[in-house]
Structure 1
Amino acid sequence: MTKTLPIINDDPWLEPYAAAIEGRHEDAARKIQELTGGSGNLDDFANAYNYYGLHRDQQGWTLREWAPHATSIYLVGTFSDWKECEPYRMQPVADGNWEIKLPARAMKHGDLFKLHVHWDGGWGERIPAYATRVVQDETTKIFSAQVWCPEKPYQFKVKHFVPNTAPLLIYECHIGMAEDKEGVGTYEEFRVNVLPRVIKDGYNAIQIMAIQEHPYYGSFGYHVSSFYAASSRFGTPDELKHLIDDAHAAGIAVIMDIVHSHAVKNEVEGLGRFDGSYDLYFYGDSRREHPAWDSLCFDYGKDAVLNFLLSNCKYWIKEYQFDGFRFDGVTSMLYYNHGLGQAFGSYADYYNGGEDTNAITYLTLANVLIHEINPHAITIAEEMSGMPGLARPYSDGGLGFDYRMAMGIPDYWIKTIKEKRDEDWKPTSIFWELTNRRADEKTVSYAESHDQALVGDKTIIFRLIDKEMYWHMMVGDNNSVVDRGMALHKMIRMATASLINGAYLNFMGNEWGHPEWIDFPREGNGWSYKYARRQWSLVDRKDLKYQYLNNWDNDMIHLLSSVHNFQATPIRKLWDKDDDQVLAYMRGNLVFVFNFSPTRSYTGYGILAPAGEYDGVLDSDSPRYGGYGNIDESVSHLTQPDPLYADAHLGWLKLYLPARSMQVLRLAAAKPVKAAARKPAARKAHTGRKKKK
């Protein structure tokens, strides 16, 4: 008798769809056996990059490419004066593959090259599909592959890195826009200038965007042309390796934003018509072009495409030591309609026949392979439909991702800021939204990522403060709009970060309230880099208020990381009262208390909590964070007993709650404490006692 998969056992609501879930699981199992010849070892299968592409050994050079529709292929480059020469003609071998072997003197490090691919009825210049180095001529803007074989290639110093995921705190970043200058930043500049900031901030992972080569800088790296090439506009492969090595030495994991959901339509730079055919890597019918992204959709039903993509995952792990991937556009992959215009209001929407079973199989295999290569690897799905099992292990019946992006959270915050008066922010709604997730799947929670900062949208801080940021961010300039914006910015980020069940993510610069938006150089803005950078000078200036938000984020991140497995500690709601706009919850021995009211401060506000003594840890009203200093942080708080809750060892924690503020307290003595005679709580006195020095 076949055992029911754990994912179905754990969620009775999935029982009606057991056949579909088990069918997907069997599809993946069958494909693994098929691809591996029965061994089940995908690591042995995913080696396309070791066969295809340009390779140097003691005998010389070997170049192979897959182009079954081609009739002839010539290797051309600086070594042949870009002309077709018989010595550089590739030869057809089995299964649509082409090969050329050349002596060592035929090419050298730094040479540029392409392929001239001929087919019945035409020909075209092509960059090899497995090129590992692609560069653009500064004058002509033409892309070419480049021979990359330095005499002394970079050697990693850190050999076996294990990421810290307890909790995982991610700093999302883009190398090109990570500098203060109006231009393109480099791997080396990021390593020297930005990585030390990340280390100081307390994050334990960086998630790097736009690594795979893309011809249009303004695509943010999402229209990939060369899947095996690290973008040369940021520097050399060795410089990227040096950056990753230094991150590992500092205990920071490096996650790559990988794009396997689609590809750029370009034919010369990309895979669009590599051998003249339309369906080599992509669908050949109406599904070929993505209806919303102006790009091409992979045909995940082809074994050669699976080999190309799975080997790509392995390549970045093995060659560059990446610790995992954030898979972009997963929703688009999962459904034939790419999830466009679909509400996903019930479980039936995930099992109605509109799922792309081939793509689901690929994603499952990718996760199996990645964790086979590195059991400590991190995989994250950028997915908005909420498909059950996405972030459950393959053995449980899931697709195998470690985390899924909690994409509803930033949407919730933006909607709240845009559509609700401050007086209408409801703690019950906030708590529900930040904890509304499947109990069996870990998520990456975030208030905002790069998406919320793109032109046409606004970051949280810019929605809150807007144009006042240009005039009233000087220290000592008391402005009610700025004060409100900074207070809510701190509270939003703490609520989001402190209610994680997996990981927390921040986009670079947003932690300290980077002003304005992100807009890459394009024709519409005169090819300007003004908004495609990070103005670190703002947070470094002691006469500006950005430092206060940075202090808050630093202390928040360090607090969460100081609690081992914080993300796994149970969340215990202590209090929520929409009329008062007060929310309190507990994780471990930490209590998080929020007063979202814009006008009402509360003296001696009672929260039912485990009886004992509590010390203040953080409060957003501290002058260190740009607040008013209304909370006396030297006070310890003793709960007041209540006969009704004596058996439950609960008492009333009486606190002063300034308007628009939050505070974190730590339970110092987890046992009932006899209440001492004390005066009524006052604004600065609290119900408590001074901490011992």
Structure 2
Amino acid sequence: METLNLIKNDPWLEPYEDAINGRHQHALEKEAELTNKGKQTLSDFASGYLYFGLHRTADGWIFREWAPNATQIFIVGTFNDWKEEEKYSLKRITNGNWEIKLPADAMKHGDLYKLIVHWEGGCGERIPAWATRVVQDEQTKIFSAQVWAPEKPYKAKKRTFKPSVDPLLIYECHIGMAQKDEKVGTYNEFREKTLPRIAKAGYNCIQIMAIQEHPYYGSFGYHVSSFFAASSRFGTPDELKELIDTAHGLGIAVIMDIVHSHAVKNEVEGLGNFAGDPNQYFYPGARREHPAWDSLCFDYGKNEVIHFLLSNCKYWLEEYGFDGFRFDGVTSMLYYSHGLGEAFCNYGDYFNGHQDDNAICYLTLANKLIHEVNAKALTIAEEVSGMPGLAAKTEDGGYGFDYRMAMNIPDYWIKTIKEKIDEDWKPSSMFWEVTNRRKDEKTISYAESHDQALVGDKTIIFRLIDADMYWHMQKGDENYIVNRGIALHKMIRMLTATTINGGYLNFMGNEFGHPEWIDFPREGNGWSCKYARRQWDLVDNKNLTYHYMADFDADMLKIIKTVKGFQATPVQEIWHNDGDQVLAYMRKDYVFVFNFNPKQSFTDYGFLVSPGTYEVVLNTDNPAYGGNGFADDTVKHFTVADPLYEKEKKEWLKLYIPARTAVILKKTK
């Protein structure tokens, strides 16, 4: 057997060749099994949503459900006064499946319905596993499936869309908290008010959280009950489709934060005990429950579960026009331990038999399927252990993700801010952290995501400025703490965003230093939405300093987007001096210079670069971004020859770099 490219690209993986080959073969064999040895495609196999659930037919309705442990199933709803009736009784067909055919007048668009499932020794109300619309009664708080068959369903105007990934600039967002008012926002409000902001800010992709229906709003969408239903608390399926279509019209890709790592425990709303078999969808025994998340773990070894989850991927791509997925909780899927309490210090930790080969196989097939359905689709893994091959091509022995989250970077920035005084910030350490990645895998770099914005944690700006945000963000009233915070906020983002090798991510509002944390309505806060929103009026108010950070962010992204193939260009370190706290590196014709020194400015600080003329294109110290304007950015910088470096074709670029500032220069001649 020929050595896989994953191993060729990294000789340190050679001792684990058997394990890597075994995982690769497992996925190939499973694909052959599911596709009947290639007689159908993986996409054909993953079309369960077209078969299961409720569908309108030429002469009525058809409904199907997989429930092998059931003894009888009734469909009940507003159309039959929620009563079990023989004419609404499903018939058992093959492979544990159940079916009912109903006349056209048996139900109508908008009707509510559920299943009553009977099994040996019990019965219970259930929402169908494949339900595509689930709503909650405002008074009783009870969830029901809803017949969704509008006479004029939404038709996309932008039928074909190719995401711009040069580079991928992601705006992570949440529909419900995207508005200023203290309430749950809607798809329509997001489309009308927030999308234009994102387009203006320069992001080319939105990553939407909490799309799959979840009973508890405060779970941030991570305790999913109905995997095929777009959350109705934000609006209708058609309104979500219009949002996605509008984003495409603005050149913005839309990826979904998909949760296949676990499911909510709820039995009536979810899959927890669908037909008296608690293991229908989930692992048996001790592996059934996630020890940290109070949720249930899918059994990725069951073909029916693989069918359900793969069909779910295809459904969101085909039915809604999503451009891909950020897979949540991948570390939890990969390891029997869910990654809890493990350090992952060396390669042996990835191949020690503690990995769930079924989950690895599922993720590999999911990536294959997604790219088969849409070759331009984007997949991102949220994975903290550093598993090699996660974002390598499947044919090379990898798991097929397009990108992996660089989860080390936000951890590094928070640890630095929390534990080190400014004089101990080391540029060599920073540069290593933002460029430490596998050469054959693309990453999404980010300074902070939603994780850092939740109650119990703090955003970067809140760590830097803290209580002074409440008193000194008025222009003219800034104090040292505020000025320091704004300066470092810009520098941290610039270093993170300009060293990417795939993409960059920002969480909604963090680009302008949104104050405070996110706290969803719950019993402990009187079910208040005060902290589950975004205060856009702060960045809109030109008398406050928030807009400085937003304006800088937008101009930084503009520069990144003007450089063709920016994320694929090598990052070449020019210089670092931890004593001075100065760092410089190059990408193409651009030079990036940072002075993290809190006190000392440097005059005529020299860097060896290719000869030419260099002009400043972005400066964190520009008064337009709340800086002091100590340097004259209109000055052209001519390199100075040095006979010692003639053979290397290098000359000195000498700059004045004020304390706690960063600058981007472009070689113009």
Which amino acid letter does the alignment assign opposite residue 611 of structure 2? A
Pairwise CA distance, 1:525: 1.4
Report what 1:429 is aligned to.
Answer: 429
Amino acid at match of 1:420: K
Answer with 31-40 or 384-393: which moved more.
31-40
Amino acid at match of 1:12: P
SS at match of 2:244: helix
Task: Report the 3-state secondary structure (helix = DSSP H, G, I; strand = E; otherwise coil) of the residue aligned with 1:488.
Answer: helix
Q: Does 1:62 pair with 2:62? A: yes
Give the AA of the match of 1:265.
K
Equivalent position SS for 1:664: strand
Inter-partner Cα distance in structure 2 for 1:97 and 1:60: 20
1:235 maps to 235
- Give me the whole-angstrom Cα distance separating, in 1, the residues matched to 2:399 and 2:513: 36
Q: 1:184-199 maps to which residues of 2 (within 5 A)?
A: 184-199=184-199
State the match for 1:10 in structure 2: 9
CA distance in 1, matches of 2:321, 2:648: 51
Structure 2 runs not aligned, ≥5 long: none
Aligned to 2:143: 143
2 CA distance for matches of 1:310 and 1:541? 46
Which position in structure 2 is the counterpart of 1:681?
Answer: none
CA offsets per residue over residues 510-563 of structure 1, 9 Å max, x none?
000000001101111111111100000000001100010011000011110111
Aligned twin of 1:606? 606
- Residue of structure 1 equivalent to 2:271: 271
Matches within 5 A, 1:114-513: 114-513=114-513
**472-481 vs 287-296, greater mean Cα deviation:** 472-481
For 1:685, the equivalent position in structure 2 comes to none
Alpha-carbon separation, structure 2, partners of 1:223 and 1:586: 44
Secondary structure of the residue aligned to 2:287 is coil
1:67-78 to structure 2, matched below 5 A, reads: 67-78=67-78
RMSD over equivalenced CA pairs, Å: 0.6
| AA at the equivalent of 1:650 | K
Q: Give the counterpart letter for 2:13 in structure 1.
A: L
Q: Equivalents in 1 of 2:651, 2:196: separation in Å?
A: 44
Distance 2:494 2:572 in 1: 16
Q: CA deviation at 1:580?
A: 0.4
Alpha-carbon distance, 1:478 to partner = 3.2
User: Residue 34 of structure 2 corresponds to which residue in structure 1?
Assistant: 35
2:22 pairs with 1:23? yes
CA distance in 1, matches of 2:657, 2:270: 58
Q: Which deviations, in whole Å up to 9, do the C-alpha atoms of 1:548-598 show, x marking residues without a partner?
A: 001100001111011111100111111100010000000011111000000
CA distance in 2, matches of 1:98, 1:624: 65
Aligned residue number for residue 629 of structure 1: 629
Rounded Cα–Cα distance in structure 1 between residues aligned with 2:523 and 2:649: 66
Q: Indicate whether 1:523 and 2:503 are aligned.
A: no
For the residue of structure 1 that corresponds to 2:285, the secondary structure is: coil
CA distance in structure 2 between the partners assigned to 1:285 and 1:50 by the alignment = 32
Counterpart position of 2:639: 639
Partner of 1:572: 572
Amino acid at match of 1:139: Q
Q: What CA distance in whole angstroms lies between the structure 1 residues aligned with 2:383 and 2:12? A: 21
Secondary structure class of the residue paired with 1:550 = helix
Paired residue type of 2:11? P
Identify which range, 140-149 or 605-614, moves more after superposition.
605-614
TM score, norm. by length of structure 1 = 0.96
Match for 1:668: what amino acid?
T
C-alpha separation in 2, matches of 1:6 and 1:652: 41
Distance in 1 between residues matched to 2:290 and 2:456, nearest whole Å: 22
Aligned to 2:557: 557
Moved more, 83-92 or 303-312: 83-92
For the pair 1:536 / 2:540, whether they are aligned, the reply is no
The answer to whether residue 58 in structure 2 is matched with residue 51 in structure 1 is no
Distance in 1 between the 2:466 and 2:478 partners? 16
Secondary structure of 1:644's counterpart equals helix
User: What does the per-residue CA deviation read over 1:658-677, in whole Å, with 9 as the maximum and x for residues that have no partner?
Assistant: 110000000111xxxxxxxx
CA distance in structure 2 between the aligned counterparts of 1:77 and 1:615, rounded to whole angstroms: 69
| 1:421-471 CA-partner distances (Å, limit 9, x unpaired) | 000000000000000110110000000000001101100000000000000
> CA–CA distance in 1 between the matches of 2:557 and 2:569?
16
What is the match of residue 682 of structure 1?
none
Percent of counterpart pairs with the same letter?
69
Give 1:479's aligned amino acid. Answer: N
Between the aligned partners of 1:4 and 1:606, the Cα distance in structure 2 is: 47
Q: For 1:646 and 1:528, locate their aligned partners in 2 and report how far apart those are by CA, in whole Å.
A: 67
In 2, Cα distance between the equivalents of 1:35 and 1:296?
Answer: 25
Question: How high is the TM-score relative to the length of structure 2?
Answer: 0.99
